[in-house]
Amino acid sequence: MCSLIRRSLGAAAAVLVAGLAVTLASAGTGAAQPLLPPPPAADVAFPIPDPDPFYQPTPDIAARAPGDVLKVRQLPPSYYFPGSAMWEVLFRSTDSQGNPIAANTTYVLPANHAPDGPLVSYQHIINSLGHKCKIVTELYTSDPLHQIREAAGLNIALARGWAVSLPDHLGPRMAYGAAKLGGQITLDGIRAVKRVPELQVTNSPVGLGGYSGGGMATAWAAALAPTYAPELDIVGAAIGGAPMNLGKMAQGLGTNPHPAFGLAMAAALGLEREYPDRIDVSGQLNAQGRWLKQMIGNGCTNEIMLFGVGRSAAEMTDNKNFMDNPEAWKVMDENSVELYPGVPKAPIFEWHSPTDALIPVDSIDNTLRRYCEAGTPVQTLLTPTPDHLSAAALGVFQGLDWMDARFRGDPPPSTC
């Protein structure tokens, strides 16, 4: 059951992120289910801090500029990427309120990379609430439930000599659901690796990539780049299956039981972490809601899915007034790239299934139409697949070929 549930994580996370944050911010009602055994501790503050001192910000972080390098360390080889050297970079980034934060990225340097050769920032699906679930951690675990699912595509990029940056784009609060934050961390991670001479990408052209939850961070990075990081030479962004309007998903979610409800709950808690003055999830929870929060508040995808399977927002609260919190809706809008007025300057390759029921396809169409009207080259691939998950596999290889052409300097194709 857990492996079956996990296969839905990328899609379900994207769909449910908006809806439950709104719902639990002023939530609904429903019949209670019997509680499972009590959580290991009551009222634990999440996320539990990472004990590794590497992640502690330097005292001067407020005086540093976005993308400034705070710390660098070389990592041991990872069996996911044989023959490649590994580093981790801690850097200064910016949270959703404009405050300085320390974020990290894992950098993979293949043996055949030429100095100043291509650099790809790939935003992997994370979908978690605990620091133990960071990409840099999962690169070194043998647990079959914690794997880098997108390693096959990344190894193709590495085989072509491209360096790869893998940012932990949920940030130091593990703010799952805060998509704009993910875009900012992505861009600052690129800045940071370019500022470390031994990584050999100081003058490298940059490509962006990601699918589903990672696609959200990628879409935001592309849209923010002209104003947030205009100095970066971003040659293209490959974006797959990305939810581009969280409010529309919220409208269709409701409060019925769902097999992936744990991800919805996790997204609500993640947004509360990032917007504590605007979204109050914890204060609306009943006993069942508090129990689930304690069980998943530091969890990775598998725990989140296991403890939330078949549950609903209505079970988590006794408040009958749901879907009526204007601040929660504003937060959704602020994290919806369809509603962001900025336009990427870099060419876009976008792919999705036209029958994907898990994301609002019309929001993708509206966003790309606006980009086309602004003069951004956009190539759209409608995959001949029925759903969200199968589209991921089909599009990534065409996306790699598309990115290869951008690095060669070929004129970008357009389906505008």
pLDDT per residue as tens digits for the range 155-176: 999 999 999 999 999 999 999 9
More confident site: 27 or 82: 82
More confident site: 354 or 188: 188
Q: Which residues contact 374 (CB under 8 A, 6 or more apart)?
A: 343
* Domain 1-416, CATH among 1.20.1080.10, 3.40.50.1820, 3.40.50.150, 3.40.50.300: 3.40.50.1820
Taking residues 301-311, what's their average pLDDT?
A: 91
Please name the residue that has the structure tokens 């790239």.
337
User: How long a stretch of residues is the chain?
Assistant: 416
What pLDDT, on a 0 to 100 scale, did the predictor assign at position 278?
94
What would the pLDDT profile of 141-150 be if each residue is shown by its tens digit?
Answer: 888 878 788 8
Q: Report the alpha-carbon distance of residue 16 to residue 5 in Å, rounded.
A: 14
Answer whether residue 40 shows pLDDT above 80.
Answer: no
Write down the H helix ranges in 117-260.
135-138, 151-159, 179-194, 213-228, 246-253
What pLDDT, on a 0 to 100 scale, did the predictor assign at position 253?
65
Task: Say whether 207 sits in a helix, a strand or coil.
Answer: strand
What pLDDT, on a 0 to 100 scale, did the predictor assign at position 36?
52
What pLDDT, on a 0 to 100 scale, did the predictor assign at position 3?
32
What pLDDT, on a 0 to 100 scale, did the predictor assign at position 43?
56
Could you give the percent of the chain with pLDDT greater than 90? Answer: 68
Least reliable range by pLDDT among 19-23, 63-67, 405-409: 19-23
Taking residues 29-36, what's their average pLDDT?
A: 41
What pLDDT, on a 0 to 100 scale, did the predictor assign at position 248?
81
More confident site: 327 or 33: 327
What pLDDT, on a 0 to 100 scale, did the predictor assign at position 66?
98
More confident site: 404 or 8: 404
Give me 274's structure tokens.
Answer: 């990032």
More confident site: 97 or 37: 97
Least reliable range by pLDDT among 194-198, 222-226, 280-284: 280-284
More confident site: 243 or 367: 367
Answer whether residue 322 shows pLDDT above 80.
Answer: no
Answer whether residue 17 shows pLDDT above 80.
Answer: no
What pLDDT, on a 0 to 100 scale, did the predictor assign at position 314?
87
What pLDDT, on a 0 to 100 scale, did the predictor assign at position 35?
47
What pLDDT, on a 0 to 100 scale, did the predictor assign at position 32?
40
What pLDDT, on a 0 to 100 scale, did the predictor assign at position 18?
37
What pLDDT, on a 0 to 100 scale, did the predictor assign at position 70?
99
CA atoms within 13 A on the CB side of 416: 17
Q: Report the mean per-residue pLDDT for the chain.
A: 88
Could you give the percent of the chain with pLDDT greater than 70? Answer: 88
Q: Report the alpha-carbon distance of residue 52 to residue 54 in Å, rounded.
A: 5
What pLDDT, on a 0 to 100 scale, did the predictor assign at position 68?
99
Cα 132 to Cα 135, 300, 352, distances in angstroms: 9, 7, 31
Answer whether residue 361 shows pLDDT above 60.
Answer: yes
What pLDDT, on a 0 to 100 scale, did the predictor assign at position 129?
93
Please name the residue that has the structure tokens 């998943």.
296
What would the pLDDT profile of 50-83 be if each residue is shown by its tens digit?
Answer: 999 999 999 999 999 999 999 999 999 999 999 9
Q: Decide: pTM greater than 0.85.
A: yes
Taking residues 10-35, what's their average pLDDT?
A: 38
Q: At what angle do helices 9-25 and 326-334 cross, to 10 degrees?
A: 150
DSSP characters over 306-339 = HHHTTB-GGGSB-----S--HHHHHHHHHT-GGG
Answer whether residue 23 shows pLDDT above 80.
Answer: no
Query: Which of 12-16, 77-81, 325-329 has the largest mean confidence?
Result: 77-81
Answer whether residue 307 shows pLDDT above 80.
Answer: yes
What pLDDT, on a 0 to 100 scale, did the predictor assign at position 14?
37
Between the two ends of the chain, the Cα-to-Cα distance in Å is: 42
Answer whether residue 214 shows pLDDT above 90.
Answer: yes
What pLDDT, on a 0 to 100 scale, did the predictor assign at position 22?
40
Model confidence band, residue 291 (pLDDT cutoffs 50, 70, 90): very high
Answer whether residue 257 shows pLDDT above 70.
Answer: yes
Model confidence band, residue 239 (pLDDT cutoffs 50, 70, 90): very high
